[in-house]
Amino acid sequence: MGRKHSHVIVLGIDGAGSFVKDADTPYFDSIFADGAVIYDALASNPSISAECWGSMLLGVGPEVHKLTNGIVSSTPYPADSPYPSLFRRIKAAYPEAELGSYCDWNPITYGIVEDNLGVSHDTANDDALAPVICDYIKAKKPDFLFIQFDSVDGAGHKHGYGTPEHLKRISEVDVLVNDVYTAAKDAGIIDDTLFIVIADHGGTNPGNGQGGGHGGWTDGEKYVTFAAAGRGVNKVQLEKMNIRDLAAVVLYSFGIDLPEFDEAGWTSQIPEDLFNDGAIPAYRDISHLTGAAPRISKVPHTSELI
């Protein structure tokens, strides 16, 4: 399986859920006008940051990776884990690859990415981090870059998810998304880049001026946005996707063979119709693994603190 793109940029918007479709996002709309988009990809269960980002970067569910916010905030991700991160898998295939992890919520870089790979990294609030990321792209032209912006989740916790304040912050982060995309253009790499925007989870809106939470399995918490643009990506509204599928999508882009599907381990898949490639296997339903039935909402059972 040959390499499809020289560069992959994944931009994660924490707490954006499916609410991107309700916000004013002209740059997002333009970037992905000819790409693949879904607004009801499934988060991991529970819909909490470490569980979700871990699923994306490791290709396994929370029931397998067992990461929590407490663990990733206090424990480095083991270099000998049987579930290597995308960074480790890419480095094994391409030892000279330039890898970057730039996250507002730094426990991702500390607790989900191995620290012995020479990954470039930095952390700051979204508005301060974005120009650092842009400079890095133009200077290093990374093979794989993972970005996490956190302020949308903060707005959801403070005001409620889907509120005007939450949607306003999504619109403001849309400008940062365009800054990153433009930096890749300026670096001369955008035509050979798979560019992805993804959310980890959404959240609740209790009303009455109360802040929102997440961790449960209501529609507002479990449905999230995924969008991809680049050579070979179909212009399509995707129908089925789990956020852990990000791992398979990235490996496919790099021409790295996917691990064997295993319900006790790797369960990341390439969504049907994402790429113009008839050799991609049919998509498997994995909802029975976690009780995360795709279209059944439940009362939230927990909420992640700010």
Residue 22 per-residue DSSP state: G
Q: CA-based angle 7:8:14, to the nearest 5?
A: 155
121 forms beta bridges with 101
Which helix (H) or strand (E) covers residue 111, if one does? Answer: helix 107-111
CA distance linking residue 161 with residue 155, whole number of Å: 8
Q: Which domains does the chain have, with CATH numbers?
A: 7-289 (3.40.720.10)
The pair of three-digit structure tokens given for residue 3, joined into one six-digit string = 């390499």
Q: Which of 122, 121, 145, 136 is nearest to 6 (CA)?
A: 145
pLDDT tens for the chain, residues 1 to 306: 689 999 999 999 999 999 999 999 999 999 999 999 999 999 999 999 999 999 999 999 999 999 999 999 999 999 999 999 999 999 999 999 999 999 999 999 999 999 999 999 999 999 999 999 999 999 999 999 999 999 999 999 999 999 999 999 999 999 999 999 999 999 999 999 999 999 999 999 988 878 999 998 889 999 999 999 999 999 999 999 999 999 999 999 999 999 999 999 999 999 999 999 999 999 998 888 766 554 444 444 444 443
CA distance linking residue 172 with residue 38, whole number of Å: 21
The answer to whether the beta carbons of residues 299 and 64 sit under 8 Å apart is no
CA distance linking residue 8 with residue 193, whole number of Å: 5
Residue 104 identity: D
Residue 107 identity: P
pLDDT at 298: 44
> Count of CB atoms within 10 A of residue 165's CB?
12
Helix (H, G, I), strand (E, B) or coil at 214: coil
pLDDT at 306: 35
- Tokens 């304040």, located at residue: 165
